[in-house]
Amino acid sequence: MMEQYKGAAFGELSPHLFAVADASYRQMMNEGISQSILVSGESGAGKTESTKMLMRYLAYIGGRAAAEGRTVEQQVLESNPVLEAFGNAKTVRNNNSSRFGKFVEIQFDRAGRISGAAIRTYLLERSRVCQVSNPERNYHCFYMLCAAPPEDVERYKLGNPRMFHYLNQSNCYELDGVDDSKDYITTRRAMDVVGISPEEQDAIFRVVAAILHLGNIEFSKGKEVDSSQPKDEKSFFHLRTAAELFMCDAKALEDSLCKRVIVTRDEMITKSLDPDSATLCRDALAKIVYSRLFDWLVNKINSSIGQDPESKFLIGVLDIYGFESFKTNRCLTASSNSASI
Q: Is 218 annotated as a binding residue?
A: no
Q: Is 90 annotated as a binding residue?
A: no
Contact between residue 211 and residue 238 where contact means Cβ atoms under 8 Å apart: no
- Amino acid present at 317: V
CA distance 228 to 221: 5
- The CA-atom distances, in angstroms, between 4 and each of 27, 57, 85, 151, 283 are 18, 12, 35, 51, 53
Q: Is 159 annotated as a binding residue?
A: no
Q: Is 11 annotated as a binding residue?
A: no
CA distance 104 to 98: 14
| Residues in CB range of 335: below 8 A, 6 or more apart | 123, 126, 127
Q: Is 47 annotated as a binding residue?
A: yes
Q: What is the spatial order of strands in the sheet that 35-39 belongs to?
A: 35-39, 313-319, 101-108, 114-122
Q: Is 91 annotated as a binding residue?
A: no
Q: Is 7 annotated as a binding residue?
A: no
Which contacts (CB < 8 Å, 24+ apart) does range 67-71 have? 67/305, 67/306, 71/114
Residue 230: cis peptide before it, omega within 30 degrees of 0: no
- Amino acid present at 51: T
The residues that are catalytic are 43-44, 48, 94, 97-98, 322, 324
Q: Is 306 annotated as a binding residue?
A: no
Binding-site positions read: 41-48
Binding-site positions for ATP read: 41-48
